[in-house]
Amino acid sequence: MEPTSIIIFLLIGAVAGWLAGLLMRGGGFGLLGNIVVGVVGAVLGGFLFGLLGISAGGGLAGSLITAVAGAAALLFIVGLVKKA
């Protein structure tokens, strides 16, 4: 993987984590936390979209949509586990 691709991947993760934190009323987790939530969320979102047969499209926008949806799902699951 090229350094530019890694930087873009991490930036998408940071933005996705931040947006998911806003959507789920978490307020974000700092830069590193947002990157982790966004990257894990991107993987989870890709898996969930694949199971449902949904395509968010390609490119930067599609990657961001997938990552935000997955990060929001991840935060929802974490919220359920915290309540239990």
On the question of pLDDT at 69 being above 90, the answer is yes
**What local confidence, expressed as pLDDT, does residue 27 receive?**
61
Which pTM was predicted? 0.85
pLDDT, greater one: 72 or 34: 72
- 3-state percent helix, strand, coil for the chain, nearest multiple of 5: 80, 0, 20
**What local confidence, expressed as pLDDT, does residue 40 receive?**
93
- For residue 11, the surrounding DSSP H or E stretch is helix 3-23
**What local confidence, expressed as pLDDT, does residue 4 receive?**
92
- Which DSSP state fits 25? T
pLDDT per residue over 1-54, tens digit each?
Answer: 789 988 888 889 889 988 998 888 766 677 888 888 889 998 999 899 989 988
Alpha-carbon span 76 to 21, nearest angstrom? 10
